[in-house]
Amino acid sequence: MVSKLLKSGLATAVALSLSYSFADAKQLGAELWGTAGDQDSTFMAMTKKMGDLGFVISDPHPHINDHYAHKYGSTKLDNLGFFSTAHNDKMRKLLEDYPEFGGFTPFNLHIYKNQGKDVTWVGHLRPEVMADIVGVTDPVARATWSAIFPELDNLILKEMGSTKVKNLYFDSLPEKTMMKFKLSFDLADFDDDIEMFVEEFQESFEEAFEDAGYLIAGYKNVKEAYDYAEQDFKYPAYWVYSLCHFPFSNAIFNDVPEAGIFAPCSLYMYVNEEEDTLYMGMPLLANWAKVANITDPEKLKLIEDLDAEIIKVFTEELEAEEIE
């Protein structure tokens, strides 16, 4: 039944997931759809049609594998691409009510192909799992969020002509799924100009993380996008950085390319004007280990160390307060 649905290209993500049963109480973390051969050109053509559905790709990163080969001398991948994706119109109200959704706004539409394998895989983390990670429990908000994805999934299945599916099952998420911070400020120190505060903080943030060996792989000015569209938005400043650590990603994705559904990390920041407070948050890398079933001790140590390091940069270099 599943193969017929995939061959027709008309299955929704919901219908596809219902086609599977799983005896244990495991959770479905992601569905990756496979098409025989090197399908990079097909995928790129498909991304050009996403805009017709309202999906916006910001800061795309195709063929990360080429950079691995150039920098480290080799790679196990023929293709690895990160396409940071969001539906601005459908996210506006959700972000106003639950700014934590910025941890996956944008989310990664992922493509990869292993060397020596004749299948190109495309997919993303399941929206229900994204909602679990950012901590949104309201059923209406979760349903609204999940309803964004089937139209995109149908497009992927249709345009890619997928005939295979790879499901990532996992036992549970980590006890703590998010790192969150706040930074209070006195707007009077910035001539009562929020933009001045934002610019100065962004300079400090980018310098601190670049000095620590991280790449700013993307930047999405959410507030500016809504201003440009002449749409009201609750927060006077809201933006999302895409954060990457190249040696870490090379160490993980060459062996576990499925984990790329999490990359690059979306780090949201927004100003609560009434409190003169900047709030920040990002899914912990510990989620990668759980959902992608990473068990190698060296990789687990890398994940643990990087989570700790990111928190340290926030609390020590940027003097932010970690919050629950």
220-247 residue pLDDT tens = 999 999 999 999 999 999 999 999 999 9
Q: How confident is the model at residue 324 (pLDDT cuts 50, 70, 90)?
A: confident
Give how far Cα 257 sits from Cα of 114, 168, 170, Å. 8, 12, 16
CATH of the domain at 126: 3.30.310.70
pLDDT score, position 16: 39
pLDDT above 70: residue 13: no
Percent of the chain with pLDDT over 70: 93
Asked if residue 17 has pLDDT above 60, the reply is no
Mean pLDDT of all residues in the chain? 93
Output the pLDDT for position 18.
38
pLDDT at 184 over 60: yes
Token pair of 225, please?
């996008």
pLDDT digits (tens, 9 = 90+) for 243-297: 999 999 999 999 999 999 999 999 999 999 889 999 999 999 999 999 999 999 9
Residue burial 110-144, b: 16+ Cβ < 10 Å; e: rest? bbbbbeeeebbbbbbbbbbbbbbbbebeeeebbeb
In this model, does residue 157 exceed pLDDT 90? yes
What average pLDDT score do residues 172-177 get?
98
Q: What is the CA radius of gyration of the chain?
A: 20
- pLDDT recorded at residue 80: 98
For residues 6 and 4, give the distance between their C-alpha atoms in angstroms, rounded to a whole number.
5
What pLDDT shows up at residue 21? Answer: 38
Q: Where are the alpha helices (DSSP H) in the chain?
A: 2-8, 13-18, 40-50, 64-72, 88-97, 127-134, 139-146, 150-160, 194-211, 222-228, 246-253, 286-291, 297-312
Q: What is the DSSP letter of 147?
A: T
Domain count, the chain: 1
Task: Give the pLDDT score at 24.
Answer: 52
Give percent of the chain above pLDDT 90. 90
What range defines the domain where residue 225 resides?
A: 2-323
Residue 198 and residue 206 in contact, taking contact as beta carbons nearer than 8 Å: no
* β-strand partners of 169: 28
pLDDT digits (tens, 9 = 90+) for 100-153: 999 999 999 999 999 999 999 999 999 999 999 999 999 999 999 999 999 999
State the pLDDT confidence band at 79, using cuts at 50, 70 and 90: very high
Instruction: Check the CA dihedral 243-246-248-251 and report its sign.
Output: positive
Mean pLDDT confidence for 54-59: 96
Give yes or no for residue 12 having a pLDDT over 90.
Answer: no
pTM of the model: 0.92
